[in-house]
């Protein structure tokens, strides 16, 4: 089985919009997916961290994935977040996502109970060999307490179904070592909006982005400029957006990005508890940065 790149450019870690009563707003979700595609986004990542997967029940999780597949109509890949700290549950949910027609899975490292590097190899191998479809490994140690080491990636990329990494460990030296050890056997996507260009410079294929929820066109342009040979332009845009990226991570994701979308009139509703709304001072600080970028009046 030859490995193929799932997407090049920008994938949006799309929010899950909620109604005022906290239920999922599926109609708004369809609108968001459509708006992303219309504005140049190259892939839809459903039920990731930004999509509040940890507070979606099983029925909602599956329905959000189903709608993402249905709404995209094959125009861009759909990648479903199916990770868990229970390997058997991860396999079961991944199989459901596969049946719904997703193009790939995003599987986060086990959280809370955590595991060793040997355990990571066993976990991901069990999922890959059971589900038999392309998998993106998701490394976000700030949330999970687990960091996939470059040597572990080198072992995992031997599996034909493990095709890519969403790397959010923030450690450029570690990412460089992973790229050196794995070469063309695995694709690397930035999991941090402030590191798109640095990871592209190491051979990365793009970003799985939070920022794309509010500016999909400009986020995509960073990668388009890079792959089009306009390295200076890509770097300039990355730096131009740095204050906005920082503002979107001034509180726990996806609290600020949902607040930003609501300020823009996109009506995506609140986050589910335990994630809680920003205080007035933080909201005003976010709004100041958004005005600087002409996102709100």
Residues labelled catalytic: 138, 166
User: CA of 10: how far to CAs of 176, 193, 233, 258, 293, in Å?
Assistant: 20, 10, 16, 19, 20
Burial of 175-206, coded b for 16+ CB within 10 Å and e otherwise, reads: bbbbbebbeebbbbbbbbbbbbbbbbebebbb
Taking residue 21's Cβ as centre, other Cβ atoms within 10 Å add up to 8
Helical ranges in 39-171 per DSSP H: 58-72, 87-100, 117-131, 141-144, 150-156
**CA–CA gap between residue 253 and residue 278 (Å, rounded):** 11
Residue 208: its H or E element: strand 206-209
Taking residue 232's Cβ as centre, other Cβ atoms within 10 Å add up to 9
């Amino acid at each position: 089985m030859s490995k193929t790149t799932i997407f090049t450019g920008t994938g949006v870690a799309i929010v899950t919009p909620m109604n005022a009563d906290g239920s999922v707003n599926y109609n708004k979700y369809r609108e968001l997916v459509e708006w992303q595609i219309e504005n140049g986004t190259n892939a839809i990542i459903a039920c990731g961290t930004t999509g509040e997967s940890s507070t979606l029940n099983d029925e909602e999780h599956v329905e959000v994935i189903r709608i993402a597949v249905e709404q995209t109509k094959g125009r861009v890949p759909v990648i479903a977040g199916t990770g868990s700290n229970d390997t058997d549950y991860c396999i079961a949910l991944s199989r459901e996502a596969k049946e719904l027609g997703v193009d790939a899975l995003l599987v986060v490292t086990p959280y809370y109970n955590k595991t060793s590097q040997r355990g990571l190899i066993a976990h991901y191998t069990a999922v890959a060999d059971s589900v038999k479809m392309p998998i993106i490994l998701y490394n976000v140690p700030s949330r999970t307490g687990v960091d996939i080491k470059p040597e572990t990636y080198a072992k995992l990329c031997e599996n034909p179904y493990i095709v890519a990494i969403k790397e959010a460990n923030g450690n450029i030296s570690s990412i460089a070592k992973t790229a050196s050890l794995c070469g063309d056997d695995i694709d690397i996507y930035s999991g941090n909006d402030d590191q798109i260009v640095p990871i592209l410079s190491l051979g990365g294929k793009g970003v799985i982005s939070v920022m794309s929820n509010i500016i999909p066109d400009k986020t995509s342009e960073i990668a388009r400029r890079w792959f089009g040979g306009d390295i200076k332009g890509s770097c300039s845009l990355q730096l131009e957006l740095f204050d906005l990226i920082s503002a979107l991570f001034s509180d726990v994701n996806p609290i600020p990005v949902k607040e930003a979308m609501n300020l823009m009139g996109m009506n995506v509703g609140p986050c589910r508890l335990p994630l809680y709304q920003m205080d007035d001072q933080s909201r005003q600080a976010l709004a100041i940065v958004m005005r600087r970028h002409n996102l709100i009046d």
